Each structure stands twice: as structure tokens, then as C-alpha cells.
Amino acid sequence: MATTISLRIEFGGGLELLFSNERRHTITIPSVVPSDNNTKPPLDPSSNEVETKLADVEYLIYHLRDHLLQERAELFMENNTVRPGILVLINDTDWELEGEGEYVLKDNDEIVFISTLHGG
Amino acid sequence: MFANQVGQNTTNPSLCIKCKVNTGRIVVRHAVYCKECFPALLGSKVKRSLDSHINTKSETSRKKSLKASGNLLIGFSGGLGSTVLLDLISKIYLSSRTEIESEGNKQRGGKDHPRNEPVWKEASVCYVEISAGFPGMKDRTDKIRLLVEEKYPALQLIPLRLENAFDRTWWDKVGRNVTSDATADVTSEDLFLSTISDDFTPDPIHKLRTYISALPTHTAIASATRILTRLLLLHTARFTQSSHLLLGTSLTSLSITLISSISQGGGFSVREEAQEEWNPGSSGAIRLVRPLQEITMKECSMWAWWNDLQVIGKEAYPGSKLGIGALTKDFIVGLERDYPSTVSTIARTCAKLAPKVSAGGICVLCERPLQPGVQEWKSRISIRATTESPVDPPSLLQSLTPYLCYSCHTTLTSRSSKAVSNSASTSLPLPMWTSAHLLDYSSSTTDSIDVEIQEDVKEAGADVWLTRKVGADEMKKATGDFLLE
């Protein structure tokens, strides 16, 4: 199994303003990640003490907050998930049909985050 | 919610509930739809909300074609709801006209067939720019104009500005009766009126800013902006001879507005939040319809995404996140995620509500139904003044309070412990339509009503009470004999 996976990320509905005003991003994340969603690399990579899981959307949200978000994290995340009013699409499908945060990411998946609160 | 919990298909929960063939792509209140069935879902919801309001009389025969008595005006803010509304209305109701124009006479049934007649003769889009009221905000009229011209060339854009509400030139242009500018004193619950002489009339932007700075709370500012925008749109609809004004209020936005409006004392006009018929008097009634009122914000967002619609968005003005409306929005949006059906329950429940008594006229500020006797009730249940207000010159004509609905009166007078206004302004300039209504009242209605009431009271052998504002000296003189030295 590859140690990293590549993902296409897109922001819409004004959410891109929090991410350097760039709508499209391509990121690479580890395929196996800490279960506590810690996105900082461990000091000792050989250490087996950290519990791990396959990279899922929940981890991706933490990753985006810690590595891509430029400002105002409270507008993106709330209570360990995306803020209410943000629609998440996994490969153009509502994430509610894919298991929401528990969806295990695959190489070349496209994840879209759209804010529904940009006016209306 | 997980894949095995959603959907009503017992065999395969991820199959579209409608075609039962394609894999579902969106979950709408526990029901799964595919990308192909989704447009039909939204189309049917829009038609269900709008069709029954198009013809002047609701038809008993479903076969009768749709024909409005006037033109169409679509309110456009650049936000998600109005962007989706503009797209859906132009696709469902206006596209056939564009096709007819471009394809000649190829339409089914011939060019004179009623089916091929446009529902509205002409359609326009109206945008109200609010930036002048809030220093530092960007004017987005050009952005809006570009979008409408590029995407909807058949529609005419009418750009308005929030300050038009205080602009006599605009008022003359929309063809209303000439009026003089009036102001109300916000330091008193009675909102005593005075008129501004024609020699000294500040410019509309100055009046708008004075109006906003004289409002007591962030909630009042948000509410006033909504009222001014709505009335500007309605008067423009009348000017464009429109029979219908459409707004892009989604189900989520409607639920937010309903709860927020009721919490601000707007319970009497709860029905008007969903759909209203505005009667400007001289011409026919204009129907304000919200065709997206069965469509959630999530569906709007998905439609905009799949159709590659550009959502310009609404810029927040300073303090806009602090009012009751913004707090209600946070609450309802959170509720919609955790309990998707509850939001529609709010709208459905409110649709069953109706006031117990009929309206006693219309509010001069928001032009919505006025609940009779509300001020008497309010005077019994609330403390009317906490500080002594300055004595006004005897030239004051009358009080604005009796002509305001409970909600508007509360908006103008209810102060919070955290005062928002740092301005010393106590004089509230009134919108043109309010001044016009007051002029009408003072010239005819009130005098006759007062006389009638006084005569009734005399007949009943009761005392005639007259409410007027008195100065401290006069009060002392009247009560002096009863005071202990």
C-alpha cells in the first residue's frame, strides 16, 4: 500500500476566502494517520505507541485546518467536524451518502467544501 | 448520518428514491436523489409555490394557462438564494420566450398558441445596494450588472440604492405623491414628529446614515435594512407595472426569518413573511412570492454547484453578526444539520398561524398589517420611559407611535444595555413612504377618526382624554397644589 495519497480539494460558496482565495488545491496526505487526528508528524517515526487509522475525511478536515487554512478556523470547523452550513461532496456526491467523516480516502479522490452561508 | 440510515428504499438505500435506477447523489431530508432527478425535484417545488399565485384568481381548472396580469420583478441580492431563484425562474418560466425569439416560429402549437405566450410580458431584476449606509463597505453594483448582463441578457437590471428610501427624486420618479420630509424623535416612546423645511433637506446618504445611527440596537439595524429593501423593491415593482415580486428566500432562510421576526414582535404579520399581497392603492395588488420556500439552503447550494452558478455573496456590514437575526441563523443552520426535518416544520407550523383579529390599517413604516390596540396593551405591560426626555417645542404635530406596528415600534425604541449608537443623533429621518402616509393621515383620516371617537365617548358620558407632552414647569404648575412643602 502506498504511504501517501493525493487528493484534489475544492472550495466554493465563499469558503475559498479562508484558503488564500484559491478554489482548487492538490494535497498529499499520509495514507495511515494518528487516530486522534494529530496532523503534526511524530518526533520519532519508528515509535509504535501512537494508535493509527486509515486516512479519512475527518482527518482531512484537521489537515486542512492545520496546513491550508489561513484565517478564522472557527468559520471552517466546529466540534471536530465542519461547521454547520458547509456542504461536503466526496467525488461529487453528498458526504452523507458516503459515511461523512468516516469515509476512507482513496488516491485521487475529489473532496469539495461549499459554504451555504455566503449570503442567501 | 450514515449511508445505511438514509433513504427510504429498503432494498438499496443509496438508490434514487424517484427513478429507483441511478445511484443517489444528494440527501434531502432523509430522501436520496440522483443528479438527473434533482432538477425535476426543484422545478416541481418552485412551480408548486408559485403557480397558484400567478393568475389573478386561483383557477379551478389545472389546464388553464398561466397568465399574470402584469410584469415580473425579481429581487436579486447576489446571495445564494436569489442566484438560484434567478436561474430557476429564467429556466422554468422565461426560457421559452428566449427560444421563441431565437428559433422563429418553431414552437409547438404555433406562435399564437396560449401555451407559448410568456407568463409575464416583461421581466426585470432589481438589486438594492446597501453600502452607502455602512462606511467601508464595497459597492457591488457593477459586479451584479456584469453577472446579469452576461448570464441573463433578456432581463433588464434595475439598480437601486438603500438611500433611495430617503430620496425625494427617486420618490418622484416612481410616481408617488409629493410629500415633505419628516423626522421622529427617538428619545421618546411616543416618537414625536416634526417636519423638515424644504430649504434644509440633507442628501439621502446623510439621511440614511442618520437613520441607521439613531437605531438603538444591532437587531434594529438589520431589521431596518430588511424593511427598507423590501419597500424599495415593492415600490419599484409598482413602478414597473409588475403584478409579481419574487424573492429568493429558501426554506432555511424563511424559517430563520419567521423565528427572528416573531422574537422581535412581528407575530401579527407572520403570514406575510411567507407570502404577501401589497396593495399600493391606485393600481392593482402586487404579490410578493417566495418560490424557494420549500427548498433548503443545501439544495440551493447543490443546484448552484452542479449548474456552475457564480454566487457573488452578500458582504457583511459591521455588527451584522450580533443581532437576533444572525443568532437565529446560527441556531437554525445548526438545527438543520442535526435535525433536517425540523426546519421545514417551523415553516409549516407558521403557515397554519393566523391573527385572531383583523388588521386595523397598515404600519406606515413596513406597510404590513397593523394590530389594533397594540399601544394600549404595550403601555400596560412595559415600562415606557427610564429617563426624562427633553422638552420639545410646542410646534410638534403628532406622535408616530399610533401608526406603527408593534414590531416597528419595538425596533425604533427598544434599547439594549449595550448601546450600539455612538451618535448623538436623536432625530430619525423617515422614509419617503412613511412621510407620505403621515401626510395622508394628517390631512384626512386622523381628524375624522378623532372626532368620531370623541363623539362616541361624549355620548357614553365618559371623559375625553387627550394625550400630549407637557414640560416640567407645566407639570409642576398642575400638580403644585397637591405637593407637600
Q: What is the pLDDT of residues B306-359, one digit of tens each?
A: 999 988 887 777 777 788 989 999 999 999 888 888 999 999 999 999 888 888
Burial class (CB in 10 A: 0-12, 13-18, 19+), A106: middle
Chain B hits for A87, CB-CB cut-off 8 Å, are 298, 301-302, 305
B85-143, pLDDT tens digit by residue? 999 999 998 876 555 455 544 555 555 555 567 888 899 999 999 999 888 888 999 99
A82 to chain B, any CB pair closer than 8 A? The answer is no
Is A100–B301 a contact, with Cβ atoms under 8 angstroms apart?
Answer: no
pLDDT bin (cut points 50, 70, 90) of residue A94 is very high
As for the ipTM of the complex, it is 0.91
> Which residues form the domain of B346?
67-460
Under DSSP, the state recorded for B172 is H
| CA distance linking residue B123 with residue B139, whole number of Å | 24
Half-sphere exposure of B46 (CA within 13 A, CB side): 24
Number of domains in chain B: 1
Total domains in chain A come to 1
Which residue is closest to A85 within chain B, CA to CA?
Answer: B333
A86 Cα to chain B: minimum distance (Å): 9
Q: Using alpha carbons, list the distances in angstroms from residue B5 to A90, B34, B40, B241, B355.
A: 18, 17, 24, 50, 40
Separation between Cα atoms, residue B72 and residue A14, nearest integer Å: 30
pLDDT score recorded for residue B442: 72
Give the cell for residue B464.
375625553
Q: Decide if pLDDT at A25 tops 90.
A: yes
Q: How many residues does chain B have?
A: 485
Q: What does the pLDDT look like over B182-208, one tens digit per residue?
A: 888 877 777 887 777 665 667 899 999
Computed over its alpha carbons, how large is the radius of gyration of chain B? 25
A42 is a domain residue: no
CA angle (B101 as vertex; B96, B106 as ends), nearest 5:
75
C-alpha cell of residue B105: 416560429
Please report whether residue A120 resides in a domain: no
Report which residue type is found at A94.
D
The cell for A51 is: 494508535
DSSP secondary structure code for residue B16 in this structure: -
Higher pLDDT, B67 or B424: B67
pLDDT at A87: 93
Separation of CA B88 from chain center: 21
Q: Reply yes or no on whether the pLDDT at B224 is more than 90.
A: yes
Of the candidates B26, B80, B336, the beta carbon closest to that of A120 is on B80
pLDDT at B1: 45
Residues in chain B with CB shorter than 8 Å from the CB of A94 are 24-27, 302
Is the pLDDT assigned to residue B11 strictly greater than 60? no
Backbone angles phi, psi at B111, to 5 degrees: -70, -20
Residues B355 and B371 sit within 8 Å (Cβ to Cβ): yes
pLDDT at B267 over 60: yes
Closest CA–CA distance from residue A113 to any residue of chain B (Å): 11
The mean per-residue pLDDT over the stretch A5-10 comes to 94
B157-180 CB burial, b ≥16 within 10 A, e <16: bbbbbbbbbbbbebbeebebeebe
Q: Check whether B391 has a pLDDT greater than 50.
A: no
Question: What is the span of the domain harbouring residue A81?
Answer: 4-37+50-115
A99:B2 CB<8 A: yes
pLDDT at B457 over 90: no
The cell 414582535 sits on which residue? B265
Query: Residue B315: its pLDDT value, please?
Result: 75
B15 lies in a domain? Answer: no
Residue B482 lies in a domain: no
Predicted local confidence at residue A10, as pLDDT: 95
A119 pLDDT band (50/70/90 cuts)? very low
Cβ <8 Å between A100 and B79: no
Residue B80: which CATH number?
Answer: 3.40.50.620
Q: Is residue B428 part of a domain?
A: yes
Q: What is the CATH number for A75?
A: 3.10.20.30
In a domain, residue A78? The reply is yes
Asked if B271 contacts B358 with a C-beta cutoff of 8 angstroms, the reply is no
Q: What is the pLDDT of residue B394?
A: 40
Instruction: Identify the pLDDT of residue B23.
Output: 92
For A24, phi then psi, to 5°, come to -110, 135
Mean pLDDT: which of B46-55, B95-104, B172-181, B391-400 is highest?
B46-55
User: What is the average per-residue pLDDT within B432-453?
Assistant: 69
Poorest-pLDDT segment among A3-17, B7-21, B425-439:
B7-21
Is the CB of A10 inside 8 Å of chain B's CB atoms? no
**Joined grid coordinates for residue B198:** 424644504
In the structure, what pLDDT confidence band is assigned to residue A51 with cuts at 50, 70 and 90? confident
Burial class, A11, CB count within 10 angstroms (exposed 0-12 / middle 13-18 / buried 19+): buried
Tell me: pLDDT of B3 over 70: no
DSSP code per residue over B408-453: HHHHHH---SS----S---EEEPPHHHHHHHHHIIIIIHHHHHHHH
Contact A118 B24 (CB under 8 A): no
pTM: 0.84
Average pLDDT for residues A7-26, to the nearest whole number? Answer: 91
